Structure 1
Amino acid sequence: MSLHFYLLGIGGIGMSALAGLLKARGFQVSGSEGAPPSPPASQVLKRLGLIPFCGWDPERLEKISPDYVVVGNAIRRDHPEVEAARRQGLPLLSLPETLKRFILPGKLPLVVAGTHGKTTTSALLAFVLERLGQEPTFFLGGLLRDRELNFGSGEGPYAVVEGDEYDSAFFEKTPKFWHYRAFSAILTSLEYDHADIYPDLASLEAAFRTFVELLPEEGLLVFWGDADRLVRLAERSRARRVSYGRSPKNTYRLLERTPFPRGQKVRFCGPQGEGTFDLPLYGEHNALNALAVLALLVELGLSPEEVARALGEFCGVLRRQEILYQGRVTVVDDFAHHPTAVRETLLALKEAFSPRRIFLIFEPRTNTSRRRVFLSAYQEVLSLAEAVVLKPPPGLEKVPEAERLDLTALARGLEARGRRVGFLQNGVSDILALEPSPGDLLVFMSSASFGKIYTDLVKALKERGL
């Protein structure tokens, strides 16, 4: 009889990937969620044939009697199913500890860490390894578009893991990426985030410092060398160090980007000389993400020509620069929520589409986005759009008032910069009130799905001949 894992909070995107990996290894999997899961996790669970238990029921664990209860990091210690598990003496595990103990043994973990670009870079890395016949195992925070899954269980030597710096569980207040004991890593960036658990940048930087110090001497650290903070961090690692970026001091240099309708051509140089690759993603930040993947894989011994070819075939990730509709107007969905990610994504979309105007539908949903720490930064970066529709996030009232993002103040700051501002309260009509016309670009940005509004908007645009 195989082990049975009960995933408490199975509707999270990371938990859905863990469920897939556990099932692929032959384990039994079940789980619960407070409400029916939303996309994209619900899509993964449906593909897996997993129907989560809806609502919390302490008696359920007595009936199921799993071998392990895996606790999502949003679950509190007083949760009724946690208390039931403890009464029964069931072992509690965090998601990263479960990966470490049951998925990663026998693999060489390649961990992608950083404030920005983790999902896209991890997906690129997993996709290229797969294309090159390496049969990787992978755990991602987004769904690959070609299969609409966020995990893969391969027989090859490498395991690609998106390395989150958020804490692991209420009983394990350590960053997730410490657990994975990376053999090699990509470090894309480091800016302040997760204000709910890191009081300042220094505390966040300390978490990353430990991560790079855990890399083994025989491993490899590929880091963005244009950021002094990352250069200093990299110096703390025993692993071999390779940098990438724009500056001539980097081991792998981004020399030139040439946009084309569905992406860009990237020219670079490295120890092997100059080369190029096509990339079906927009923006300099994604050119750098791809260059990091190329640097890691070439340094691990793969052919630079084969890596470059595979990068050009990349399928993309759902909710990362995802084109939902392209008629006389274009509609794009993106996960960006940190001010830097918002800025870089909007600049990339401007470069790609040369729109007449950008209308941005923005939801500050993450624990940090809902706090006032980014108020002035949001006022600046959201003004890259000509009009902004703000969606009040759920749970905003739970943030202490002194720390809470003031959406009215955000709107006033945008209006002072000459931008039109509205609120998403009545559905698609609030977006149509901006009167989109040919040549406009409508961009959704949130860490969560906007649900039915996508299809409602596309239908309305088609009815208007747009």
Structure 2
Amino acid sequence: MQKKKIHFIAIGGSVMHNLAIALKQAGHEVSGSDDEIFEPSRAALAKHGLLPAKDGWQPEKLDASTDMVILGMHAAKDNPELLKAQQLGLNILSFPEYIFEHAKDKQRIVIAGSHGKTTITAIIIHVLNYFNRKFDYVIGARVRGIENTVRLTDAPMIVIEGDEYLASALDPTPKFLEYQHHIGLISGIAWDHANVFPSEEEYVRQFDLFADQTPKGGILIYCEQDSMALMIGKKERADVTEITYKSHAHTSDNNGQFFLTDGKDRFPIKIFGSHNYQNISGAKEVLKRVGITNEQFFEAITSFQGAAGRLEVVKENTLATVYKDFAHAPSKVKATVKAVKEIHPSRELLACVELHTFSSLNKKFLPQYKDSLKNAQVPVVYYNPEKVKAKKLEPLAESDIKSAFANPNIRVFDNTEKLENFLMEQSWKNKNLLMMSSGNFGGIDIGKLSEKILS
């Protein structure tokens, strides 16, 4: 391997920082910058000696000796480091372009979908690791037992979580189209990323392009229980094998233990919820295509604990449980609330979602959340007005949120302290708490909060 000097613009991204670590571990000279770096990226970069000495863009880090620049998606076209790289005529790639360059001679498996793609990818990684298969991967969240979310070796196969968001300021292509899959999976489609895809039609079209990209002799797997995925998946494509999947057969017992069923056999599992039974089936179909038998799958899945931050138990006692989940898009919120209610149907559920992304804070998109909290007895929405202002969006009022969610009983908070006080005042006897966000609720430490309310 030829050692290269590689610079990351926006090194703090969830995949970007892991790719930087993977390339340093492979022996390359790696540097990077970012205007803001949050946890867990900051700690991971520091551990590997890659945390920039200061926040902010530093074009002086680039010179003619730089072999390659990897450009993150949140760096704008006028980023001073990008301008310097262009001025120097350096080789600039988005991270999906880099991944494709690395993987162009491998079998490429790409998992796409508005929801479920992280869990499906994580299950595939877990099962392949369980049987010591040789493969590379790229996933957008930490998986228990795996330190890095990117692995790049000389393995013959790569499994990639394929995001539909755009690759970079220079490359306005959905990331999942860059990978040119041999086996592609679509878990489900629900309009998201309204800042890039202003209409549902435009958003759905990206998945149609993904499906059409399946090569002759390739495989397209899709969830038949999702109307959009079904519509796109069943379109006739020459010499493409189309495979459908649906929720895996399952059951539970009086102790709240969940099982997959296969004929008369039951296999205990640690993840639950109707969306996860779909995710399990999707992963199983992919794994069949790379030589994992049903018997092997059932053996390995019993030890899968889920991707970090996906329906994670923070703390529990005999009367209450606190969960946190990365859910933020409407379809994810609805599925997660339903799943938590299924675990303890007799317990009240206080479900709190943070509106944090451009889409979720956009008045035009907000009605997509209609009925997403209907399975919660105490529905709560939190947002930070400063985030709305920073994204140059129209201010939100409590009435806008109640109307969009179609639920007049929703409690709306725009102040972290008031939200924490409200949660502390609740009775937590026979009641569960679910905190959902891709942010951090204005800095609330959910671990400490859980200690307080369940003590």
TM-score under structure 1 length normalisation: 0.88
Which residue of structure 2 lines up, in the alignment, with residue 338 of structure 1?
329
Q: Is the 8 A contact 2:251 2:260 kept in 1?
A: yes
Q: Is the 8 A contact 1:222 1:241 kept in 2?
A: yes
Q: Supply the distance in 1 between the matched residues of 2:331 and 2:227 (Cα, whole angstroms).
A: 17
* Superposed displacement of residue 395, structure 1: 2.8
Q: Supply the distance in 2 between the matched residues of 1:205 and 1:18 (Cα, whole angstroms).
A: 29
> What per-residue deviation string (whole Å, max 9, x for no partner) do you get for residues 280-331 of structure 1?
1120110110111111211333211001211111132111011111134321
* Superposed displacement of residue 137, structure 1: 1.0
* AA matched with 1:239: V
Which residue of structure 1 lines up, in the alignment, with residue 269 of structure 2?
279
* Superposed displacement of residue 413, structure 1: 6.6
Q: Is the 8 A contact 1:427 1:453 kept in 2?
A: no
Q: Supply the distance in 2 between the matched residues of 1:138 and 1:267 (Cα, whole angstroms).
A: 29
Q: Check 1:138–1:401 CA distance in 2 against 1; reply closer, same or farther (3 A cut).
A: closer
* Superposed displacement of residue 208, structure 1: 1.4
Q: Which moved more, 1:359-368 or 1:91-100?
A: 359-368
Which residue of structure 2 lines up, in the alignment, with residue 71 of structure 1?
71
Which residue of structure 1 lines up, in the alignment, with residue 138 of structure 2?
139
* AA matched with 1:264: F
Q: Is the 8 A contact 1:414 1:421 kept in 2?
A: no
Q: Supply the distance in 2 between the matched residues of 1:139 and 1:301 (Cα, whole angstroms).
A: 20
* Superposed displacement of residue 30, structure 1: 1.7
Q: Is the 8 A contact 2:372 2:405 kept in 1?
A: no
1:357 to 336, 348, 360: 348
* AA matched with 1:52: P
Q: Is the 8 A contact 2:328 2:436 kept in 1?
A: yes
* Superposed displacement of residue 370, structure 1: 1.6
* AA matched with 1:67: D
2:408 to 406, 410, 417: 417
* Superposed displacement of residue 214, structure 1: 1.7
Q: Is the 8 A contact 1:116 1:188 kept in 2?
A: yes
> What per-residue deviation string (whole Å, max 9, x for no partner) do you get for residues 363-422 of structure 1?
1112211212443343522243214151326531144545x6545421477796334444
Between Structure 1 and Structure 2, how many residues are aligned?
A: 449
Q: Supply the distance in 2 between the matched residues of 1:434 and 1:423 (Cα, whole angstroms).
A: 18
Q: Supply the distance in 2 between the matched residues of 1:414 and 1:195 (Cα, whole angstroms).
A: 17
Secondary structure of 1:363's counterpart equals: strand
Secondary structure of 2:172's counterpart equals: strand
Q: Supply the distance in 2 between the matched residues of 1:295 and 1:177 (Cα, whole angstroms).
A: 19
Q: Aligned ranges for residues 37-436 of structure 1 at < 5 Å?
A: 37-62=37-62, 65-102=65-102, 104-153=103-152, 155-234=154-233, 235-237=235-237, 238-245=239-246, 254-258=248-252, 264-267=258-261, 277-327=267-317, 328-354=319-345, 356-385=347-376, 386-392=378-384, 395-399=387-391, 401=393, 406-411=397-402, 417-426=408-417, 429-436=420-427
Secondary structure of 2:426's counterpart equals: coil
Which residue of structure 2 lines up, in the alignment, with residue 443 of structure 1?
434
* Superposed displacement of residue 167, structure 1: 0.8
* AA matched with 2:14: I
* AA matched with 1:289: N
* Superposed displacement of residue 224, structure 1: 0.5
* Superposed displacement of residue 202, structure 1: 2.0
Q: Is the 8 A contact 2:121 2:160 kept in 1?
A: yes
Which residue of structure 1 lines up, in the alignment, with residue 21 of structure 2?
20
Alignment of 1:456 onto 2:455:
no
Q: Supply the distance in 1 between the matched residues of 2:256 and 2:106 (Cα, whole angstroms).
A: 35
* Superposed displacement of residue 196, structure 1: 0.9
> What per-residue deviation string (whole Å, max 9, x for no partner) do you get for residues 60-110 of structure 1?
3246952212111111111122122222222221111011113x1332111
Q: Check 1:211–1:370 CA distance in 2 against 1; reply closer, same or farther (3 A cut).
A: same
> What per-residue deviation string (whole Å, max 9, x for no partner) do you get for residues 192-228 of structure 1?
1111111222222221122122222222111112234
Q: Supply the distance in 1 between the matched residues of 2:205 and 2:77 (Cα, whole angstroms).
A: 26
Q: Supply the distance in 2 between the matched residues of 1:301 and 1:154 (Cα, whole angstroms).
A: 20
Identity %: 26
Q: Which moved more, 1:343-352 or 1:57-66?
A: 57-66
Q: Check 1:259–1:160 CA distance in 2 against 1; reply closer, same or farther (3 A cut).
A: farther
* Superposed displacement of residue 437, structure 1: 2.0
* AA matched with 1:19: A
* AA matched with 1:311: I
* AA matched with 2:34: E
RMSD: 2.7
TM-score under structure 2 length normalisation: 0.90
Q: Is the 8 A contact 2:221 2:282 kept in 1?
A: yes
Which residue of structure 2 lines up, in the alignment, with residue 250 of structure 1?
none
Q: Supply the distance in 1 between the matched residues of 2:380 and 2:421 (Cα, whole angstroms).
A: 11
* Superposed displacement of residue 431, structure 1: 4.0
Q: Is the 8 A contact 1:294 1:308 kept in 2?
A: no
Q: Check 1:91–1:286 CA distance in 2 against 1; reply closer, same or farther (3 A cut).
A: same
Secondary structure of 2:12's counterpart equals: coil
Q: Which moved more, 1:192-201 or 1:380-389?
A: 380-389
Q: Check 1:47–1:160 CA distance in 2 against 1; reply closer, same or farther (3 A cut).
A: farther
Secondary structure of 1:204's counterpart equals: helix
Secondary structure of 1:417's counterpart equals: coil
Q: Is the 8 A contact 1:212 1:236 kept in 2?
A: no
* AA matched with 1:225: E
The list of structure 1 runs, each at least 4 consecutive aligned residues, that deviate by more than 6 angstroms after superposition, is: 412-415
- Structure 1 gaps of 5+ residues are 247-253
Which residue of structure 1 lines up, in the alignment, with residue 32 of structure 2?
31
Q: Supply the distance in 2 between the matched residues of 1:260 and 1:31 (Cα, whole angstroms).
A: 52
Q: Supply the distance in 1 between the matched residues of 2:41 and 2:305 (Cα, whole angstroms).
A: 19
Q: Supply the distance in 2 between the matched residues of 1:261 and 1:146 (Cα, whole angstroms).
A: 26
> What per-residue deviation string (whole Å, max 9, x for no partner) do you get for residues 213-270 of structure 1?
2222222111112234323322254421111115xxxxxxx344336757621235xx
> What per-residue deviation string (whole Å, max 9, x for no partner) do you get for residues 115-136 of structure 1?
1111111111111111122122
Q: Supply the distance in 2 between the matched residues of 1:341 and 1:364 (Cα, whole angstroms).
A: 13
* Superposed displacement of residue 171, structure 1: 1.0
Q: Is the 8 A contact 1:198 1:204 kept in 2?
A: yes
* Superposed displacement of residue 344, structure 1: 1.0
Q: Is the 8 A contact 2:57 2:80 kept in 1?
A: yes
